[in-house]
């Protein structure tokens, strides 16, 4: 690679600043409030969003500078097309890029300090920024739901099989319930149970299932990968980008999952696919994975090779199948 010019570095820095400004607008409801108003002065926008007018004034100036807002002939603020796309409720919302950018910066700062001591404090670092955690589930939904609906679900046979027999699909660490909601919309006969350790995630999952008319088929409750009970044997147990968090205890966990399955059931693992050759990390699709693997180290984790996952499932008495999807992989372990 050639040496980056100072202009290139400045452009990259301004890109990060732009997403920081967008993040502030997302978590404080400023994009949504201005969409409702259509046009407003600073006081009107601050009142609508329930925010301090002094902060809103400075935010509006910065959001205008980076193109998230426009000014009309009467000096009233309006959303630009880019700004409108940051509304969390907008179709195809791009808010996940802003949340992810600020989360990445937080994790980089933590890694910079911890590298000196070798400490790995675990997943609690995700909850150290109170403005980020409530948006984590929606960030994952915006990043992955379309891929699941359009590519993974149609191409992995176990989903259609469970749907055909009206079986129970369980999502361990369900977050805001996006995976089961997407699955239920595509598979009209299956039932779903999502378990999560955060009360806020359960609240969001229940509310979104109700909004999408899926409350009768989907249930959500407290529980986690290490300690859960099911009302009946499951036809499918999903772990979405979660196995690397508990990899050191995979033997006991896979044994527990296998015991919780119907005779024809399966465990469905969705993970980033860590490449065998580090040289592949220069590929654009893998750069983000390389960065995230550093932040996973802070949490005590690391990304896995697909063959590692398949081998562990086989050792647990399940028949593995590997389905590559770009930089991700689905590994199905059939009982």
Q: Among residues 123, 175, 121, 126, which one has the least CA distance to residue 148?
A: 175
- Measured distance CA(312)–CA(59) in Å, rounded: 50
Report the relative pairing of strands 328-334 and 319-325 from DSSP bridges: antiparallel
Classified as helix, coil or strand, 74 is coil
Classified as helix, coil or strand, 306 is helix
pLDDT in tens, 268-314: 999 999 999 999 999 999 999 999 999 999 999 999 999 999 999 99
Question: So what's the pLDDT on residue 255?
Answer: 95
Q: Among residues 331, 176, 158, 181, which one has the least CA distance to residue 243?
A: 331
Question: So what's the pLDDT on residue 276?
Answer: 94
Task: State percent of the chain over pLDDT 70.
Answer: 100
235-256 burial code (b ≥16 CB/10 A, e <16):
bbbbbbbbbbbbbeebeebbeb
Question: So what's the pLDDT on residue 56?
Answer: 98
pLDDT in tens, 52-102: 999 999 999 999 999 999 999 999 999 999 999 999 999 999 999 999 999
- Measured distance CA(173)–CA(194) in Å, rounded: 7
Three-state secondary structure along 115-183?
CCCCCCCCHHHHHCCCCCHHHHHHHHHHHHHHHHHHHHHHHCHHHHHHHHCCCEEEEECCCCCHHHHHH
Question: Is the pLDDT reported for residue 133 higher than 90?
Answer: no
The reported pTM is: 0.92
Question: Is the pLDDT reported for residue 1 higher than 80?
Answer: no
Question: So what's the pLDDT on residue 326?
Answer: 93
Q: Among residues 220, 153, 219, 216, which one has the least CA distance to residue 183?
A: 153
- Measured distance CA(310)–CA(318) in Å, rounded: 9
Question: So what's the pLDDT on residue 227?
Answer: 83
Classified as helix, coil or strand, 320 is strand
Domains recognised in the chain with CATH numbers: 6-94 (1.10.10.10), 142-277+299-334 (3.40.50.150)
pLDDT in tens, 180-208: 999 999 999 999 999 998 888 999 999 99
- Measured distance CA(48)–CA(31) in Å, rounded: 11
């Amino acid at each position: 690679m050639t040496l980056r010019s100072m202009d290139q570095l400045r452009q990259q820095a301004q890109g990060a600043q732009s997403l920081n400004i967008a993040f502030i607008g997302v978590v404080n409801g400023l994009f949504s409030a201005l969409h409702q108003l259509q046009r407003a002065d600073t006081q009107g926008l601050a009142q609508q969003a329930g925010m301090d007018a002094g902060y809103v004034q400075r935010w509006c100036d910065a959001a205008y500078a980076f193109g998230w807002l426009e000014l009309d002939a009467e000096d009233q603020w309006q959303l630009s097309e880019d700004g409108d796309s940051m509304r969390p409720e907008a179709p195809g919302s791009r808010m996940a890029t802003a949340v992810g950018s600020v989360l990445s910066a937080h994790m980089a700062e933590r890694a910079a300090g911890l590298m000196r001591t070798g400490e790995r404090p675990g997943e609690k670092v995700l909850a150290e920024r109170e403005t980020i955690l409530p948006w984590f589930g929606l960030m994952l939904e915006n990043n992955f739901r379309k891929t699941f609906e359009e590519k993974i679900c149609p191409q992995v046979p176990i989903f259609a099989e469970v749907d055909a027999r009206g079986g129970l699909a369980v999502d361990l660490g369900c977050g805001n319930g996006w995976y089961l909601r997407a699955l239920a919309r595509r598979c009209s006969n299956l039932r779903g149970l999502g378990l999560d350790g955060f009360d806020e995630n359960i609240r969001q999952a229940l509310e979104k299932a109700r909004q999408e008319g899926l409350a009768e088929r989907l249930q959500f409750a407290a529980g986690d990968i290490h300690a859960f009970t099911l009302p009946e044997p499951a036809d499918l147990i999903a772990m979405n980008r979660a196995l690397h968090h508990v990899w050191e205890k995979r033997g006991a966990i896979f044994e527990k999952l296998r015991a919780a399955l119907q005779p024809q059931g399966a465990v469905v693992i969705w993970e980033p696919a860590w490449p065998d050759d580090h040289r592949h990390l220069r590929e654009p699709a893998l750069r983000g994975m390389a960065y995230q693997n550093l932040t996973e180290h802070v949490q005590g984790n690391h990304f896995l090779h697909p063959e590692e996952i398949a081998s562990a499932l086989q050792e647990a008495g399940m028949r593995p199948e590997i389905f590559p999807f770009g930089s991700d992989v689905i590994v199905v372990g059939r009982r």
